[in-house]
Amino acid sequence: GWRYNPGGFDQVFKPLSHNCTRSSATSASSWSNYETADVVEIPLIDNIYPRKDFMPMAIPEDISERLIRLHGNPFVWFTGQLMKYLLRPQEWLIEFIEKKYNSIKFQTPIVGIHVRRTDKVGSEAAFHDITEYMKYVEDYYIIYQYQNPNLKFTKRVFLATDEPSVFNDARSKYPEYIFYGDTAVAQSAQLNTRYGTESLKGVLLDVHFLSLCDYLICRVAYEIMQQRVIDGAWRVQPLDDVYYFDGQNAHNQRAVISHKAIWPNEFSFERGDIIGTEGNHWDGFSKGSDKTNSQSGLYPTYKTEEIVNVAKMYTYPEVRVNN
């Protein structure tokens, strides 16, 4: 079984393969033999050795030039395509989601926020009040109104959370907004009930509706959103950290403007230096270290650009693509 659904993954999503099945895993080889083995057991990403350049956050070399031109965050797009395949829903799940979509009368414009409390606060991130999320929601609608000066619209928010009280808090503080969301889903996401089929259905609903939003104040559904927009790199505002993939290879940026430190906790660098970024403080500064001069501290975010990791990946030449 699967801890989120006793009936297993394939009861919720379509099988990843009809040829490589669970029975094949009995003869799986270790990761070190991945280049020659037919079946490989993949450990947790933090335990994969030797590390390879095709691990996150790399994109395939054969489509890299086109993808870098197309998208502001190529790895997010690439991951979104993988998730599109991995999370192909079974028919019953499609019907379940469509029924919910019609019942709540989902409409745009709408901003999605994910307020995670329970196991996250104190372990992965600090507590964030609903006002911290809504600041960015209000910013989005100010810009939206500016871009559509003659349009009258309702300000909507899709709220996903594992804390039911957040709904009342949001609605009492922001009565001019319509908040979509389900307190029953939030209740099922509590630590003592989240591992079960009903809770999983609630999570999938939340992820689906977040992916349909115009803008996200969260990390959840960011990749899946990319499946329906051309370049949705800008459609997100995290509160905690920059976008990252747990267990990823080094996350580096390139300095596009030289910088001379002003404050004691900053460091200086020259244009072209490679900077390993450790996090964005969302106040104009990021934290990191210069790979060229070994200095570390804070630096102005706008003076750097992302370095896209490109790696050779299998291109499946035996697969015929019908144009």
State residue 278 phi and psi, 5-degree precision: -115, -5
CB 125 within 8 A of CB 228: no
Q: Give the pLDDT confidence of 286-298 residue by residue, as tens digits.
A: 999 999 899 999 9
Selected residue with higher pLDDT from 132 and 198: 132
In CATH, the architecture of 252-310 is Roll (2.30)
CB 266 within 8 A of CB 298: yes
Whose CA is closest to 223, among 64, 14, 55, 78? Answer: 78
Question: Angle 165-173/130-147 helices, nearest 10 degrees?
Answer: 50
pTM, two decimals, is 0.89
CA dihedral 179, 184, 189, 194 (to 10 degrees): -150
Q: How far apart are CA 51 and CA 55, in angstroms?
A: 8
Gap between the Cα atoms of 190 and 182, Å rounded: 13
Which comes out higher in pLDDT, residue 188 or 152? 152
Residues of the chain with CATH 3.40.50: 39-240
Calpha distance 274→277 (Å, rounded): 9
pLDDT one-digit tens code per residue, 209-241: 999 999 999 888 999 999 999 999 999 998 888
> What local confidence, expressed as pLDDT, does residue 188 receive?
72
Compute the distance between CA of residue 270 and CA of residue 318 in angstroms, rounded to an integer.
46
* pLDDT tens figures, 59-115: 999 999 999 999 999 999 999 999 999 999 999 999 999 999 999 999 999 999 999
> Topology of 39-240 in CATH?
Rossmann fold (3.40.50)
